[in-house]
Structure 1
Amino acid sequence: MKKKWFKGIFPLVILVIGIGGMSAIKASGEEDEDKKPVDTRPTVKTETAIAEDYQVRITSYGEVKPLESTMISAQVSGEVLTWHPNFVPGGLVLRGDTLFTIEADTYEAALLQAEADLSLARANLIEEQARAEVAEREAKGSKVSDLYLRKPQILSAQASMKSAQARIKIAQRDLDNCEIKAPYDALVVKRDLGVGQYVNQGSQVGELYNIESAEVLFPIAGFDREFLPNDITQQVATISTKGYNAITREGKVTRDLGIIDKSTRMSQLVVRIEDPYSLKSSLPPLKFGHYVEVDFAGKTLNQVYRLPQELVNNRIIWLLDAEQQMQPQRVEILREEGAYFLISEGLQNQDTLVTTLPEYPQKGMKVKIAKPKEDLVVQKSL
């Protein structure tokens, strides 16, 4: 009895299961039809191009050198008595400091002798003038010769007096030169004398570098020359060293050497730094021999675009049109500055620049724009 009941209901169960499966398949198909199509467009980031005036920066490198150097010589002969404690290599001396002294007895005696000769010459002149007055009175208007009136004797006495005055000047100069003084604030580079040493007139005994001013001679490449300001003199420049303890000082461009090197095709400019050893300030000293970077303002370029170099490939950039399609655009590179190109032609204000390219960008490729966290513009930072 049970078997007959089971055999009768089994086909009905199979039918219900089949109907349920078909309904599930149909519902699944309808759900697939209701799903939206997948957006396969690549996502890119964009920026708005804005042209602005941009001031070029000229950068070059050079070595710090003294404005002038002087070989110190003994101007009189004699024995060295003393020398300044800073008159040693590496020492700093100030303008007017006595570098060393020479025994002065001989030159003091020469000055006294010259003064005595001047007194004698003055006395002789007074005597001749008195004799001339007597002779003129005796003549009483008579026609007499110049010799009778002692005019030649007076001229001779006057000449002797001038000669004595000249000897006094020479003797005084020699005496003054027994003390050799620093002609400017200086760094002592070399000293070749000692106490008790006899030096001859004109012998070189030391070398000084002027530390009141220093200069840096630096080259300007041909591609930089056209961006130099019209008036280069007195242009403020920043002079800096590299490294952990970097030094930054300010100077002024003073002149162009006026020559283009035949081998390098570069011109040479000179920047001057006042008080490089900081005797009159608390700034860090900029020593001679430092290799420094020189940076100063060049010309101002009107209405240019400043783009990162990675966005420009073979002078091609990618723009986004109104239909959000990528379009290649050739541009004219006016100048390279660091990691940027200055673009003069090929871009228009408000062009939409693609800054993150798909792996294989193509003309007319449709893309979608990523939502920016903040609005960005391509422009020069003034």
Structure 2
Amino acid sequence: MKYFFSLIALLISAAVIFSFYHFKPQPKRKRPAPLIPLVETSILKRADFQVFLESFGNVIPEKELTVVSEVQGTVLAKNDELIPGGFLREGDTLAQIDRTNYELVVLERKAAVIEAENELELESGQQIIAKQEWELFKEEMVTTEKGKRLVLREPQMKRALARLQAAQSKLDEALLDIGRTAIKAPFNAVVMENNIEVGKFIARYAPVARLVGTDRFWVKLSVPIASLSYINLPTTESTKSSAVTIRLNGNHGSPIQRTGHVLKLLGEISSDNRMARLVVAIEDPLDLTTKSPSSFNKILLGSYVRADIDCGTLAGLFRIPRTAIHDNNTIWIFTDGKLRYAQVTIVWQRKNDVLVKGDLDGVQLITSRLQNPLEGMAVSTSAERKKPNKKKEQ
């Protein structure tokens, strides 16, 4: 019985406790305030920008030719610089061919000229006598105009003159051959290949050396056709053209930088990428005029270089990061706590940003990335969120 009453008391206590918690007034749940995304903004300001067009290309020679011998003979001497990598100045003698045979030919041709001159002199005397005889007997002689020329020995005089001219021409040719025994460099050059040695017999028109001009190298670049309007090309009226900065990684990663200029616009479109092609000239690419031999600032043939073409200054534009440009060239702007769309016109594209035009002075550009942004959605900035706190402090 005692246990029965204890059980009843326990059940009553449990019922009281259950009723207390079950029928206790519950607090009203409040709907959470909507989360307003926090965005970063930057104020757009109109400015002028110097722009460069980036392109890449290979360095090629402006002048390249194979020097040949115009005469045959044995090589008696050659220039010490006539080796691959050797440097030659315009007019330097590459090699000297034995000229003995050619000197003998000159003597022979000089003798022929003297003989022809004597023959002409004799014929002149004969013609004088013929003219005197004609004056004495012309009234008694009946002849044609052709007969008169024969009597006056005019054909013989022409033949003597022709023989003298032929002999003189052969002498001039022999003198030219003597001059050609000294093979000269046609321009300032670096030797790429050498094909002769002292003592070697070379035939007429045999290759002597392959030379590349050192005064100037070229770089062929591909650029968008639309960008040509920003590039100054040389014309017949003006040789001024756009400057080009040539960059190349040098020794131990140290960059080599040289300045060139746009030389020509090639009259063709690249079949690979349908772009226009420019020729850029680099003056003194091997840096041969540098006084300090320790500095290395050379652009070598075959180098793959980066070229930045100066396209001038674009005025009154706005700089926008590439990450802030969205579909259909739209940007997000912050206006009265709302996100708004604005479409812009892109004038120039750079690696990390674009330059646009429009009525954007003082506009707050949203640079943050948002998921599912909607026109007119509420957004806030750090500056906006600080305003209520300032009011409470006051």
TM-score category by the smaller chain? 0.7 to 0.9
The alignment partner of 1:109 has SS state of helix
The 5 Å alignment of 1:171-182 reads 171-182=174-185
Q: Identify the match of residue 108 of structure 1 among 103, 116, 121.
A: 103
Q: Identify the match of residue 248 of structure 2 among 241, 247, 252.
A: 241
Measure how far apart 1:227 and its partner are. 5.0
Q: Is residue 197 of structure 1 aligned with residue 200 of structure 2? A: yes
Which residue pairs with 1:94 in the alignment? 89
CA contact (8 A) 1:326 1:367 kept: no
Q: Identify the match of residue 124 of structure 2 among 115, 124, 129.
A: 129
Which residue pairs with 2:267 in the alignment? 258
Which residue pairs with 2:154 in the alignment? 151
CA–CA distance in structure 2, aligned partners of residues 296 and 168 of structure 1: 56
Bigger Cα displacement from structure 2, 161-170 vs 303-312: 303-312
Q: Is residue 272 of structure 1 aligned with residue 262 of structure 2? A: no
Which residue pairs with 2:300 in the alignment? 287
CA contact (8 A) 2:222 2:270 kept: no
Measure how far apart 1:108 and its partner are. 0.7
Which residue pairs with 1:374 in the alignment? none
Bigger Cα displacement from structure 2, 64-73 vs 296-305: 296-305
Kindly provide the CA deviation profile for residues 131-153 of structure 1, in whole angstroms up to 9, marking residues without a partner as x. Answer: 21122223335326323322222
CA contact (8 A) 2:242 2:311 kept: no
Q: 1:368 to 1:135 in 2, by over 3 A?
A: closer
Q: 1:250 to 1:93 in 2, by over 3 A?
A: same
CA–CA distance in structure 1, aligned partners of residues 315 and 131 of structure 2: 90
Alignment coverage as a number of residue pairs: 330
Which residue pairs with 2:364 in the alignment? 352
The 5 Å alignment of 1:222-233 reads 222=225, 224-225=226-227, 228-229=230-231, 231=233
The alignment's TM-score, normalised by the length of structure 1, stands at 0.78
CA–CA distance in structure 2, aligned partners of residues 285 and 111 of structure 1: 47
Structure 2 portions without partners, runs of 5+: 1-32, 142-147, 236-240, 385-394
CA–CA distance in structure 2, aligned partners of residues 237 and 226 of structure 1: 14
Instruction: Say what the alpha-carbon RMSD is for the aligned residues.
Output: 2.7
Which residue pairs with 1:18 in the alignment? none
Which residue pairs with 2:44 in the alignment? 49
CA contact (8 A) 2:39 2:367 kept: yes
CA–CA distance in structure 1, aligned partners of residues 370 and 275 of structure 2: 42
The alignment's TM-score, normalised by the length of structure 2, stands at 0.76
Bigger Cα displacement from structure 2, 119-128 vs 129-138: 129-138
Measure how far apart 1:72 and its partner are. 1.4
Which residue pairs with 1:84 in the alignment? 79
The alignment partner of 2:255 has SS state of coil
CA contact (8 A) 2:337 2:379 kept: yes
Bigger Cα displacement from structure 2, 292-301 vs 71-80: 292-301
Measure how far apart 1:319 and its partner are. 2.0
The alignment partner of 1:147 has SS state of helix
Measure how far apart 1:366 and its partner are. 4.6
CA contact (8 A) 2:37 2:378 kept: no
Measure how far apart 1:173 and its partner are. 0.8
The alignment partner of 1:333 has SS state of strand
CA–CA distance in structure 2, aligned partners of residues 203 and 197 of structure 1: 12
Measure how far apart 1:159 and its partner are. 0.7
Measure how far apart 1:52 and its partner are. 3.2
The alignment partner of 1:140 has SS state of helix
